[in-house]
Amino acid sequence: MTWYVLLIALIAVERVVEMVVAERNSAWSRAQGGVEFGAGHYPVMVVLHIGLLAGCLIEPIMLHRNFIPALGWPMLAIVVAAQALRWWCITTLDRQWNTRVIIIPGASRVGGGPYRFLPHPNYVAVIAEGFALPLVHTGWLTALVFTVLNAALLTRRINVENAALASLR
């Protein structure tokens, strides 16, 4: 269990790094005249992602979940792949990457990196991580609850993002 707690701690540190990058990029985007869309759902997204990490720890401890290697190791591989995809998205978008939906008027839409293949590859990473991370240590309730709530949130988020991106060249 100790290694799993360390894994969740590493993911939490990674999220803090993401927030630092996002805040820097947000300030840059606003300085370029960037306009935020859909700010109302952002706090819900933050709470949901904090809840995922908390659930990943609480469920296995409180419900005495055992590590099942046949489930845990493949799920860990998915988590690692999701992190790689997430950072591919972040590096591809560079300063335009953000945890918020901020559009710089007149900017070009990014079509390189993973965006050549999918319109919203970062959300593929979020979905994969959201079900795989809890399942690394058999947290199926957390995986289920996060997946259902995240589907509702992403429906809203993708609609907001698509409407905002429609204004780009």
Q: What is the mean pLDDT of residues 73-97?
A: 97
* Domain range annotation of the chain: 2-165
Least confident of 27-41, 87-101, 155-169: 155-169
Q: Which amino acid is at 86?
A: R
* pLDDT of 169: 61
Fold of 2-165: Four Helix Bundle (Hemerythrin (Met), subunit A) (1.20.120)
Share of the chain above pLDDT 90, in %: 91
**Are residues 67 and 73 in contact, defined by beta-carbon separation less than 8 angstroms?**
no
Evaluate if residue 85 carries a pLDDT over 90.
yes
Closest CA to 84 of 125, 56, 48: 125
Query: What angle is formed at CA 115 by the lines to CA 113 and CA 118, rounded to 5 degrees?
Result: 135
pLDDT classification of 3: cutoffs 50, 70, 90: very high
Instruction: Decide if pLDDT at 118 tops 80.
Output: yes
Q: State pLDDT tens for residues 11-46.
A: 999 999 999 999 999 999 999 999 999 999 999 999
∠ CA(34), CA(37), CA(39), 5° rounding? 115
Predicted TM-score (pTM) of this structure: 0.92
Whether the pLDDT of residue 83 is over 90: the answer is yes
